[in-house]
Amino acid sequence: MTFAVKRARQQIARLLLVLLAGLLVVAGVGGTAALSGRLVDDGLHRIATAADPASRAATVSALSAADPAAQEEAVRAAIGRAFGRAPIEVGRIAVSEISLGTPEAVQAIAGRAAHDAGALEDGAWPTRAGDAAVLAAAAARRGWHIGDRIRLGSATAGGDVVVTVVGIWRAKDPADPVWAGNPAVGSGDSQGAAGPVLIRDADMARLGTTATVTWTIEPAGLSARTLDAYRAGVGALTDLPEKVDPDSRSSTRIGGGLDGLLDRLTRTVTIARGTLIVPAAIILTLGAIAVTVILAALTGARREELALRRARGSSGTQIATAAAGEAASFVGAGAALALLLLVSARAGGTAAFLAAGVLVCVAGGAAGVTAVRASDPRGAGRSDAGRGILAVLLVPLAIALVIAGLAVWQLVAQHGVLAPDGSADPVASSAGAAAMLAAALAVPVLAVILAAIAERAARGSRGIMPVLPLRRIARRAELVAVAILCLALASASVTLALGAQPLATAAERSATSAALGLDVRASVSDSRAALPSVADTAALPSVTGATEVLHRGLIVGADTVDLVAADVAALPVPAGVRSVVVARSGAALPVAVTSSFAQRLGATTGTGFTATVQPDGARLTVRIVAILADIPGIGSAPGVLADRAGVMSAMEADTQAAVSADELWIATTDPAAVAATIRSRATDPVRILTPAAVSDVPITGTTSILLAVGAVAAALLGVLGFLAATASDRARGADERTVLRSLGLRPSRQSAGRAGEIVGIAFVAILGGVAAGLVVTAVVLPVMWGSGS
């Protein structure tokens, strides 16, 4: 033990570098993973909070049973069993529309959830039978005040149900999922019924009209770890009607769009995690290279000592064990310090411990192998003798290219990192890291080959300096290649981090256009429901344009694609496309189609076909006049864009029935304010989407942040590996300095030449790394994020 300590003290500087490398690798991998978990969970919460209200909750709706208390108990118990240990919040509101179609129509509601989601403006909440609180907007419409008596309707036992206004209230958020899309909560009117008038459950039970009861189920502990539990809970809800209402007497049914939101969140998280394999793999690779190079230099400095120990009878196993133990101890110390820091910050995780284990094994193996080789006198040779470039460089490159090719092929084949079942495909997820490593490994291969060619070409020149640096690079390919690889990987990581942000911004812009068309998208699902007025909407302060849209399914052969029929002049499409889509000549309607649809159909500009509009059943004869990569409201998916006036005219002529638009697209600088205004005026259920409701930036944005954090760690390790490799190369070339001095090459000139050589190597490495990073950013990353193919 004493001898081991003395040996370690003699090389303490290099061993401390090994410790530092272990610290940086484990802190980089573990810190990135921990930060990823926290940022992703925060992003999940932000996306869920801003999502379309209809998708933020699952709903169970039913007609009020003869025994409301028993119905409530049965439904809540079934919901609890479905979600198990996944924490949820369940709200219940009963709604009754009374005297619809008359001037006295009223909407009455009951349920504790209304108290929690509402705020009093005056008076008090109902506390006993006969009390009522009315929405402020409804009170303004009908002129209701505190103390007024409101006749709700006939009672089941005879007579009337009359309540006294004791309070005026408003909804804290009319878009809260607990209201289940009730338009009256924002405007005070639901298809002519003023309200909501909040009453007690006892008064609701007395009414002669049967109330509709809705239970809303919202996740209360949404995180990346609980996504699967919530998805399983939503899936289990499908059995609820059969369990609580087997005879369907209450028309119990499941609704809400929580399943769609959970699928969207799962997909986004999976893509983000797949991307984050890149920095983790680069950090671990650079750490392993740096540790190996430093340990090789350490072994080289001990070559005579190791040879002497071998000559005195020490076996190769003993020498390897001692070297491996020393290296593993120092790497382990750095890793342990990093783990201690991570755990103290509550950031320790599986990734950090796995990285520590891998690095300790690499350090022990590298130290043991190099020590045994150095102790064997038969392994000594000239430092510039070199080895075959084919074996040293081309074979690893070929292996890396094969692995990267398989991973990228799998990625492209399934158009992303998601497997068909929605889980993360491990092969496709590794495509970014594999491509980065292969591209970076090609940089030193090319550099060494070009140096060998240049050295041969320069042999005819006078003087030793043009030839000497090139010969060093070509004949000491191992260390030079390692130095270039370290710096190339570091610069490639930085390039990827810098390029990810604009790529994410472009992908987000494309996704928003596909989901919204313009800036706000308001739609109705009932043909009898009224869209917001175009004139009134266009008059809002922040609105720059509004257009009605007919959004239908279009059956073409065996496929069903999206049809967007709009005022094309109001959409962000090329001017040339606007003119040809509107210009109709003959019976066929001119349309633009997406590239994906044209490829599926085998169509080109000028191709005509007949299609059926669903659910109307109208037949349309169309002719393709333009092919676009993306269409607003559809994106790159198979779809058709046409002029609304032409489509509606053709449909009405074919079906002899009136056709009305079902969506309103709005261009505005303040989507949130426009959405709130529409909600405050709507008297029919309207689904309103804004950029915030469809944006995945809270998660995709964290990917850019984490790539930047990983790039910083990679840069530190890359510089460390580069310096260690160049220093080791310089130490191996010590025997040539005396020879060069005897040939008249002064030490200052030797140093200048060596400095120029290092600068040249660094320049080539950085330039090649930037190129590798750009290739991965432009080719692989878009497919991983689902914005390329």
98 forms bridges with which residues in the sheet?
106
Boundary of a domain, candidates 634, 658, 689 = 689
For residue 424, what are the β-bridge partners?
418
Distance between CA atoms of residues 143 and 435, nearest Å? 70
Check residue 21 and give its pLDDT.
Answer: 87
Structure tokens at 556: 């073409």
Lowest mean per-residue pLDDT among 272-276, 520-524, 598-602, 671-675: 272-276
What CA–CA distance (Å, rounded) separates 41 from 47?
A: 10
Largest CA distance in the chain: 121
Residue 741 resides in a domain: yes
Contact 608, 623 (CB under 8 A): yes
Q: What is the mean pLDDT of residues 723-744?
A: 59
pLDDT (0 to 100) of residue 697:
87
Q: Give the per-residue pLDDT at 296.
A: 80
Chain-centre distance for alpha carbon 197: 43
Q: How far apart are CA 98 and CA 337, in angstroms?
A: 70
**What's the alpha-carbon Rg for the chain, to the nearest Å?**
35
Place of tokens 């005819």: 460
Is residue 85 one of the residues assigned to a domain? yes
Indicate whether 430 pLDDT > 70.
yes
**645 occurs within a structural domain:** yes
Residue 254's Cβ-count burial label (10 Å; 0-12, 13-18, 19+) is middle
**515 in a domain, yes or no?**
no
Quick one: 530 and 660 in the same domain? yes
576 alpha carbon, distance to own chain's centre: 34
Per-residue pLDDT, averaged over 616-626, amounts to: 91
Q: State how many domains the chain has.
A: 3
Q: What is the arithmetic mean of pLDDT over 5-32?
A: 78
What pLDDT, on a 0 to 100 scale, did the predictor assign at position 7?
A: 54
Q: Is the per-residue pLDDT at 5 higher than 60? A: no
φ and ψ at residue 670, rounded to 5 degrees:
-140, 75
Across all residues in the chain, what is the average pLDDT? 85
The residues pairing with 561 across neighbouring beta strands, listed in sequence order, are: 554
Bridge-partner residues for 664, per DSSP? 522, 548
- pLDDT tens digit string along 186-205? 999 998 899 899 999 999 98
Round to whole Å and give the CA distance between 14 and 419.
45
Residues 357 and 251 placed together within one structural domain of the fold:
no
If one compares 735 and 338, the residue with the highest pLDDT of the two is 338
Q: Is residue 319 in a domain?
A: yes
Which tokens in the block code for residue 89?
């919040």
Closest Cα to residue 691, out of 530, 560, 508? 508
596 and 502, same structural domain? no
Give pLDDT, residue 730. 57
Backbone dihedral region for residue 602 (phi beyond 0: left; psi -120 to 50: alpha; all else: beta): left
Residue 132's DSSP bridge partners are: 165, 199
Is residue 181 included in any domain, yes or no? yes
Measured CA to CA, the distance from residue 690 to residue 514 in angstroms comes to 12
State whether 235 and 285 are in the same domain.
no
Residues 66 and 194 in one domain: yes
Please report, for residues 8, 21, 578, the alpha-carbon distance to residue 2 in angstroms, rounded to integers and kept in the order given: 10, 26, 85
CA dihedral 724, 725, 728, 733 (to 10 degrees): -150
DSSP state of 207: B
- Return the number of other C-beta atoms located less than 10 Å from residue 636's C-beta: 18
Report the 3 state secondary structure along 529-575: CCCCCHHHHHCCCCEEEEEEEEEEEEEECCEEEEEEEECHHHCCCCH
102 pLDDT band (50/70/90 cuts)? confident
**β-pair partners for 592:** 626, 641
Among 65-74, 347-356, 563-572, where is mean pLDDT lowest?
A: 347-356
**Domain stop point among 656, 689, 722:** 689
* 226: Cα within 13 Å, side-chain hemisphere: 17
> Cα(599)–Cα(594) distance, rounded to whole angstroms?
9
Out of 26-35, 308-317, 584-593, which region has the weakest mean confidence (pLDDT)?
Answer: 308-317
Q: Confidence class of residue 170 from pLDDT cuts 50, 70 and 90?
A: very high
Residue 409 and residue 427 in one domain: yes
Flag whether pLDDT at 789 surpasses 50.
no
Domain match, 683 and 711 both: no
134 in the Ramachandran plot: left (φ > 0), alpha (ψ -120 to 50) or beta? beta
User: What residues does 631 pair with on adjacent strands?
Assistant: 635
Residue 626 sits in the same domain as residue 768 = no
Element (H, E) at 64: none
Helix 12-50 / helix 350-375 crossing angle, nearest 10 deg: 160
How is 608-665 classified by DSSP, letter by letter?
A: EEEEEEETT--EEEEEEEEEES-BTTTBTSSEEEEEHHHHHHHHHHHHSS-----EEE
Same domain, 639 and 543: yes
User: Would residue 34 count as lying in a domain?
Assistant: yes
Q: Are 324 and 365 in contact (CB under 8 A)?
A: yes
One-letter amino acid at 234 equals V
Find the mean pLDDT for residues 405-411.
90
Same domain, 425 and 458: yes
Q: Is residue 306 part of a domain?
A: yes
Question: pTM for the full model?
Answer: 0.83
Using the 3D structure, point to which of 689, 722, 738 is the last residue of a domain: 689
Q: What phi, psi does 133 have (nearest 5°)?
A: -125, 135
The position carrying tokens 């191992």 is 478
- 710 is in which domain, residue-wise? 2-40+279-508+699-784
- Could you tell me if 524 and 469 lie in one domain? no
Average pLDDT of span 750-760: 67
Cα–Cα nearest to 166, from 203, 193, 192: 203
DSSP 355-366: HHHHHHHHHHHH
Whether residues 500 and 525 fall in one domain: no
| Rounded average pLDDT over 268-274 | 84
DSSP class of residue 159 equals S
Quick one: pLDDT at residue 547?
93
- Interval 459-501: pLDDT, tens: 555 555 555 565 566 556 566 778 888 899 999 999 998 988 8
Confidence of residue 377 (pLDDT cuts 50, 70, 90): low
**How far, in Å, CA of 520 to CA of 98, rounded?**
33
